[in-house]
Amino acid sequence: TKFDDFVRQIELEKANPNLTIVRLDFFNIGQFADEVEKLGYILEKEKESQKLLDFYRRCLGPLENTVVGLSDGEKPRVYMERSIGDFMACASGSSWHDKLLRAGGKNIVDDSAGSYPEISPELVLSEDPQVAIKLFTSSNPYGEKDETAEMQTVMEKIVNRRGWNATSAAKENRIYVLSDEILSGSRFFIGIPYLAKILHPNLFAELDPKSLHQEYLNEFMDSDYDLEVHGDFIYPEIAD
């Protein structure tokens, strides 16, 4: 946790006051580029860090340029729920909220009860989300075993919630299960294009999140993992 990291930093500073400590998180969108540049400088890998940042900007730049021009009415109302339990919302004060905004969504849950509140089912129904996203934590996201069945089970539980069939999200078949593997930590720029495609399929008709994801794995993770063969990161697949 962040607190544990802070405690370790204090212990190291006490053990050696002359020790210079650099803490980089890589999950904060506003600080990501600066932190990658710093790490590249420290490790004398400026060329590699710039290559990653060029790709990062290619993932998010076109989205940001488009989303900035949307009116409030053009942004769908979105309910995003954490993977750890039912009605554990990602409110406007959460780290997920910023990602939702950058994809062109409007969060229906504010942070008056905290950044990650447990909310009432009635709140969701009264706000009538146009899109609902349930985050999913994989036990082995890049393993050989696909997790479609598990994601289907999660989806079934959501759509069968009392009253959900009356929501705009259900009526328009816009309920999704999305892996937090690609939206959390330093990989958030892989997940945001998936989010944008979910929220604005017509506006981002030419956007191919899976292709960007595959390029990331091949070029920056040195992996030959084939997303066409393995890997379930969204259910159902986004219609082109």
Q: Which H or E element spans position 210? A: helix 209-220
| 1 or 134: which leads in pLDDT | 134
CA distance 106 to 73: 9
Q: What is the pLDDT of residue 187?
A: 93
Vertex 69, ends 51 and 81: CA angle to 5°? 75
3-state helix, strand, coil in the chain (%, to 5): 50, 10, 40
Q: Are 142 and 223 in contact (CB under 8 A)?
A: yes
Overall average pLDDT of the 131-156 stretch: 84
- Measure the CA–CA gap between 174 and 7, rounded to whole angstroms: 43
* Cα 49-59-222 angle, rounded to 5 deg: 50
Residue 2's pLDDT is what?
55
The larger pLDDT score, comparing residue 159 to residue 13, is at: 159
How many Cα neighbours within 13 Å face the side chain of 121? 12
Q: Of the given ranges (21-25, 190-194, 233-237), which has the lowest mean pLDDT? A: 21-25
Q: How many CB atoms lie within 10 A of CB 187?
A: 19
* Per-residue pLDDT tens digits for 183-224: 988 999 999 999 999 999 999 999 999 999 999 999 999 999
Q: Is the pLDDT score of 138 beyond 60? A: yes
Helix 29-42 to helix 46-67 angle (10° resolution) is: 170
pLDDT value for 62: 93
Contact in structure between 152 and 110 (CB atoms under 8 Å) = no
pTM of the full structure: 0.90
Q: Which residue has the tokens 């008709």?
A: 205
pLDDT band at 114 (very low <50, low <70, confident <90, very high): confident
**Given this model, what pLDDT does residue 148 score?**
85
